[in-house]
Structure 1
Amino acid sequence: MTSYDVYEAELVVQRRDFAADGVLALTLRHPLGDELPGWEPGAHVDVVLGPDLERQYSLCGDPADRREWRVAVLREPDGRGGSAHVHEELEVGDKVRVRGPRNHFALEPSPRYLFVAGGIGITPILPMLAAAEAAGADWTLLYGGRTRNSMAFREELKCYGGRVRVVPQDEYGLLDLAGALGGSPRPDTLVYCCGPGPLLDAVEERCAGWPSGTLHVERFQPRGNGMTGPQGGSADAGFEVVLERSGRTLTVPADATVLDTVRAAGVEVLFSCTEGTCGTCETDVLDGTPDHRDSVLTEEERAAGETMLICVSRCLGKRLVLDL
């Protein structure tokens, strides 16, 4: 789904439930009872909480239930205000603008899965477990968190018995990634991981050299390992961007992004995080070679160069043609 035909509506907060200490689950419905767009495990939505306050949350309910969407929000005392607004301001009956869903973390068919979740990273994983179970796949979940009471949806996970290993850090220490992942990829096994940056970095390091497509990760924050910098290490330079549908040609200066430039020219485009993590501003590339600096696209998608995240990515040459 492109950024210009995405679903957007005012939804009503139907329920507020605490899924763990500091984790609030919100159930959202259309005020007229209309069905919501379908979604698959791994999808997220943009929640507009106010002017310049927009956040992305993974859908963690039942994809078969088209009447409601469920998201879970971790209260972050040192955050930028989104979680505080959800926890302190949103009440049952309030309306909130929601856009989506989008999915850059889709569950691919496989006979066997290893799921690794850290903290609030359980949210996109939760519906994946149900899907894997329904498909008859062999799967296990390694789930870590600071304390047992801080780990969301533990009660819901009990139905899976020994397939789920809950590992509170204050009781058992850090997740045993070496034991879970081993030294080499297991045949016919896909690994899905979501959680804090250090966990994802550690998993990616252990899976380095594994066959392409074996590991799938979703990040809530930009990569901290330099992957968001210029490819090849050269300094940023200006370049030309052609907006095919708008019939305009703009110059992106060295100190501005593509998103900054097209918005300054009055071109409407959806965006949210401005950090290359949510995928809202993903745009089709019709010509030219993007300099990918996002934390969303896979290596295969980067190599194909068919789309780019215009909030952070740039151009490796002098000219890009975009479907804008």
Structure 2
Amino acid sequence: MAEILVLVDHTDGAVRKPTLELLTLARRLGEPSAVFLGPGADAATETLGRYGAHRIHVVDAPEVDEYLVTPAVDALTQIAERTGPAAILLPSGPEGKEIAARVALRLGSGLITDAVDVFAGSDGPVTEQSAFAATYQVTAHVTRGAPVITVKPNAVAPEPAPVTPAVEKQDITFGPAATAVRVLSRTPRERGDRPELTEADIVVSGGRGVGGAENFAVVERVADLLGAAVGASRAAVDAGWYPHSHQVGQTGTQVSPQLYLAAGISGAIQHRAGMQTSKTIVAVNKDPDAPIFELADHGVVGDLFEVLPRLADEIERRRG
């Protein structure tokens, strides 16, 4: 069976959810193999095997941890040249897309970014993408070389397929450019108890209709009861009501959760481009003509300050 390389996204060996999704997608195409860069591979082996990684290519060289991007490109390119994979899958964040583009160029392969689904076709892997601010769904496949594909989070629910992986240490020859930019320091990002916006299965977002920073408490209450991430529209962020890191939209974070709840958001194209691929969309807005209702699977015409507290109370009541 053809080997499918999956670049592991991890923090000191703690494998992040998008990697588990990539391994699930890789099983549709062939036999998944994980490429683990940096320290912590021992801690990740059980998780990667549980989600179907038959092999784990480990590169525990100081270059991949101390320098930016290029060492990862060197490593992934050389592993691909040695293994001859049928496809290479990477998470679709800023770093993942930069690595993917450089690897594709070095391998002479085609590149597809921001796929929302991947499946096997008669001529190799086929992807689905959202184009023109998610107005169109596009299918595409690479016609030259091993496809290099970045996949957006929440493209698929991770599904275990336990195997016992073979761990192979890889020696990499790093080029002069690999040490051009050194990482001088790292500051851990402060995180609360809520899930990451890009990885959350549920996102509850507030917009201009929230009316102020102090009123986001009603949005946060619903989010916490649902175990959701909190998002915000550009209008809410520009007004200083919520941090920019929570902005959902074309110029913010693009999300694709199982459930997206938009409260007090009109549905401008900039916001829609960032959440339109959500599996189920629920909108709460007092304006019955708000564009968000054209997109929503379920809509509530009403004041969010009446609807959301009642929703929160009902969730608490059902949980007993």
Is TM > 0.5 for Structure 1 vs Structure 2?
A: no
Larger Rg belongs to? 2
More strand by share: 1
